[in-house]
Amino acid sequence: MTTDRFDELLRIKEEVQRGPDPKATERQHAKGKLTARERIGLLVDKGSFTEVEALRRHRAVGFGLEAKRPYTDGVVTGWGTVEGRTVFVYAHDFRIFGGALGEAHAQKIHKLMDMAISAGAPLVSLNDGAGARIQEGVSALAGYGGIFRRNTRASGVIPQISVMLGPCAGGAAYSPALTDFVFAVRDVSQMFITGPDVVQAVTGEQVTQNELGGADVHAGVSGVAHFVYDDEETCLAEVRYLLSLLPSNNRELPPRVRGEDPADRLGDALLDLVPADGNRSYDIRAVIEEVVDDGEFMEVHASWAPNIVCGLARLDGHVVGVVANQPLSMAGALDIRASEKGARFVQFCDAFSIPLVTLVDVPGFLPGVDQEHDGIIRRGAKLLYAYCNATVPRISVVLRKAYGGAYIVMDSRSIGADVALAWPTNEIAVMGAEGAANVVFRREIAAARDPDATRAEKIEEYRRELVHPYYAAERGLVDDVIDPRETRSVLCRTMSMLVTKDVDLPHRKHGNPPQ
C-alpha cells in the first residue's frame, strides 16, 4: 500500500514537472518563448528552486472548467537563490489556461508575496498571461485586487521586479506598474489596458499589439518598461545582475563587492571627455563609466527621457545610484519626463539605502507652452521633492553649467546634498552670462553707441563677478573645487565617510508629494 502511494506521488510529481500536452510546449517554443520552468531555471541558481503549492488545482465549475483541473493552475510559485541570496519568484504558465488568473492561481501568488514580505527577500514575477480567467468571473478580478494590495504593501520594503515575457492586458498590467522595475523582451512582450480590437471599435484606430504596447513602445514612449532586450536569456541574465546590486530588503545595505579597480585611480580621460565650451555636447555616460568601478553602469530607462541618465554602479565596491544630466539630448535641460524619471529613481534608491551621486550639467528647465500647460511646475517638483525627502548619502558634482532652478533641483547643497563638489569648469548662476547681461544691463546696452561691444563687455563683467568657478565655493555652497581627474578618488573617499550616515525625521504617516 505504501509503495502504491509512493508510486502515485512520483507519477503526479512527474506530471507537474512535465506540464500539459507536449504540443502546448511545442507551441510555446514555436513563438520563441520559454516555458515557465525553463525561465525559472535561468533566473535562479541551478538546483536552488523550491516550489510551493505545485499540486494546487482550481475548484471552479461551469463552462467546462470542472473537467479541466491541471496541477499548478497555470502559475509556478516558489523561491530559490540568485548568487546565494534568497529570491521569491512566480511564473505564469501560458500552456495552462493561457496563463490566465483564476481564484486558486491568485491565492498561490498571494501566499508567495506574503512569504517574500515576511522573509524580507526580493520578489520577481515572470509575466506571460492572458489576464483574468473569464470563466471564473469576479473571483478572478478579486484575485488581482489582492495582488495590487500586496504590491503596494511591499513597496519600499522588498525589491519587486516584473519581467514581461508575453501578453499582459487589462487590469493585469497594473501589477507591473506598481513594482520597482519592469523588464521586457522585443517581439514577445505586450502590455496594454485595452487591446487593438477594443481600440479600433472605440476610436477607429487600427494598430497591432506591438505598435500599441510592445517592448520598445513602453521603453521609449510610455516609460512603463525600464529595460528591454532582444531575447529571454539575456533579459533574465540582466535581472540576475540587477538583483546582485540590490539589498534583499529595506533593513539591509546593498551588497558591497570589492573589485580590482583602485579607489584612487586617476581619470585622465575626463579632461578630454567634457569640453570646456558649454555649448558643446558630450555623452555623460562616458564620464560615468570613467568614474565608477570597472566602467560597469546599469542604466535605467535608457530609451525614455534621455536628457537625464539614471542607473546603478559601484564606487570602491559600494553600490550607488547615479543621476546625471545628458548634454547629448536637449542640452541636458530638465523637462517633465526627465523630472519624473529622476524622481522615481531617487525615491527607489532612498527606499533601499542606495547612496546617490548626482552629476550636474544643466542649462535650466525646458521652456515652452506645452511644458507649462502640461504641468512642469507640478511635475518638475517631483524631482525636487524626491531629493529633499531622501536621507541616504548624497554627493553632487557640478561638471559645467548649473543654472537657475534646475541647479537647485539637481541635489544642490541648499536642498540637502551632504557634499557638494565642482570642477573648475563650473558655472553656477541664476542664468548664463549672456542672458543675465541682457537683463541686468539692458538699458546701458540699448543706449550705447556700439551695443554689440557694450554687450560683450557686460557679459564678461558679469562672468568675472558672478559666474567664475569659485563664487559658490567662497560662499560655502560648494565644499570644494576639484581636479576632474581626481573625481573618482574624491567620490570614493567621501562615500566611505558617508556610509554610516543616520538621519532622524519628524514623525508623519507619509508625505504628500506633488502629482
Q: How far apart are CA 72 and CA 126, in angstroms?
A: 15
Other C-beta atoms lying within 10 Å of the C-beta of residue 454: 17
Of the residues 120, 170, 220, 416, only one is catalytic, namely 170
How far, rounded to the nearest angstrom, does the alpha carbon of residue 349 sit from its chain's CA centroid?
10
Q: In what order do the strands lie in the sheet with 85-92?
A: 50-52, 75-82, 85-92, 123-127, 160-164, 181-185, 227-229
Other C-beta atoms closer than 10 Å to the C-beta of 444 total 14
Q: Specify the residue for cell string 530638465.
A: 334
Residue type for position 197: D
In this structure, the number of other CB atoms found within 10 A of the CB of residue 486 comes to 16
Length of the chain measured in residues: 515
Q: Please give the span between the terminal C-alpha atoms of the chain, in angstroms, as a whole number.
A: 65
- The C-alpha angle with vertex 233 and arms to 228 and 237, in degrees rounded to 5, equals 75
User: In the annotation, is 170 catalytic?
Assistant: yes
Residue of 155, 162, 171 lying closest to 127 (CA atoms): 162
- How far is it, in rounded angstroms, from Cα 71 to Cα 36? 14
Q: How far apart are CA 72 and CA 280, in angstroms?
A: 58
Planar angle of CA 162, 326, 310, nearest 5 degrees: 25
Active site residue 406: yes
Beta strands in 205-315 (DSSP E): 227-229, 297-300, 308-315
Residues 75 and 53: their CA atoms lie apart, in Å, by 10
CA 41 vs CA 24, 81, 160, 168: distances in Å: 19, 11, 19, 22
The catalytic position among 99, 143, 166, 171 is 171
Instruction: Mark residue 144 as left, alpha or beta (left: phi above 0; alpha: psi -120 to 50; beta: remaining).
Output: alpha
Catalytic choice (405, 435, 448, 456): 405
Question: 408-434 as b/e, with b when 16 or more CB fall inside 10 Å?
Answer: ebbbbbebebbbbbbbebbbbbebbbe
CB distance 212 to 189 below 8 Å? no
**Catalytic one of 60, 184, 324, 406:** 406
8 Å CB contact between 87 and 79: yes
Tell me the residue type at 229.
Y
Distance of CA 423 to the CA centre of its chain: 28
Indicate if 405 belongs to the active site: yes
Which residue's C-alpha cell is 546617490? Answer: 356
User: How crowded is residue 73: how many other Cβ atoms within 10 Å of its Cβ?
Assistant: 26
Q: Kindly list the catalytic residues.
A: 170-171, 405-406
